[in-house]
Amino acid sequence: MTTPIIVFAKAPRPGAVKTRLIPALGAAGAARLHGRLVERTLATAAAAAIGPLELCGDPASDAFLAARAAAHGAALTGQGTGDLGARMHRAFERALANAPAALAVGGDCPALTAQHLREASAALAAGHDAVLAPAEDGGYVLIGLVRVHVSLFEHIRWGGPDVLADTRARFGALGWRYRELDTLWDIDRPEDLERLGNGIPDGDRLLEGLSDIVLKRP
């Protein structure tokens, strides 16, 4: 089954992304890391080879996002207005108009692998209505759907600790069958930087030149 992958990403503009990392990396360093994570996510999505790629950018006119989309053969679209839920709802409606299933991921989860994406696609092909990859902070790093319902995206406190629980409850209310993948982690806080350096094969490359933080080795 062909499963499009939508990567949501903001332009790597200093002071506008990864603001909780600014005390450790500075505004420019946090933005640079954000850009590297977006690049890595696109490469991971391309390696999964399960369907066409879409980079849903904010804004779509950003030169960095345009260049990364072109480098990975991804269609570049704009996120549009509204909160994250409204933006995701529109993106899924667009994708599912032309495909039997679709996945959406953020651009800041270095623990996400091509195999996770293949497993998500396989779950949808096997008859599940939805699939999630939970995040350790109470959200999710991946959602996949074979149909879209507005209740999945309305009245949710995005970025809060109850996003996953709320989404599970919405699936239950809809009577949908869903599967959960491994729980993963993303990069939001200064303490996540040490984990990135120690726990991801190319973590040192992602951090190179960004900070004088000394990462402890096992």
Q: What is the DSSP string of 133-168?
A: EEBTTSSEEEEEESS--GGGTSS--TTSTTHHHHHH
pLDDT greater than 50 at residue 218:
no
Enter the tokens of residue 187.
């990069």
- What does the mean pLDDT of the chain come to? 94
Distances (CA, A) of 164 to 74, 131, 142: 28, 12, 11
How does pLDDT run across 144-161, given as a tens digit for each residue? 999 999 999 999 999 999
Task: Please tell me the predicted confidence (pLDDT) of residue 1.
Answer: 84
Q: Which helix (H) or strand (E) segment is 191 a member of?
A: helix 190-199
pLDDT bucket at 194, cuts 50 / 70 / 90: confident
How does pLDDT run across 33-76, given as a tens digit for each residue? 999 999 999 999 999 999 999 999 999 999 999 999 999 999 99
Backbone angles phi, psi at 16, to 5 degrees: -110, -15
pLDDT greater than 80 at residue 131:
yes
Ranking 4-8, 110-114, 202-206 by mean pLDDT, the lowest is 202-206
The residue ranking higher by pLDDT, 37 or 216, is: 37
Q: What is residue 37's three-state secondary structure?
A: helix
Mean pLDDT of the region 104-119 = 96
Compute how many other C-beta atoms are within 10 angstroms of the C-beta atom of residue 155.
9
Task: Please tell me the predicted confidence (pLDDT) of residue 69.
Answer: 98
150, 146, 216, 192: which is closest to 30 by C-alpha?
192
Cα 109 from Cα 112, distance rounded (Å) = 6
pTM: 0.94
pLDDT greater than 80 at residue 113:
yes
In sequence order, which ranges of 15-154 are alpha helices (DSSP H)?
A: 22-48, 63-71, 84-96, 114-125
pLDDT bucket at 211, cuts 50 / 70 / 90: low
**HSE-up (13 A, CA, CB side) for residue 130:** 23
In sequence order, the 6+-apart residues with CB closer than 8 A to the CB of 209 are: none
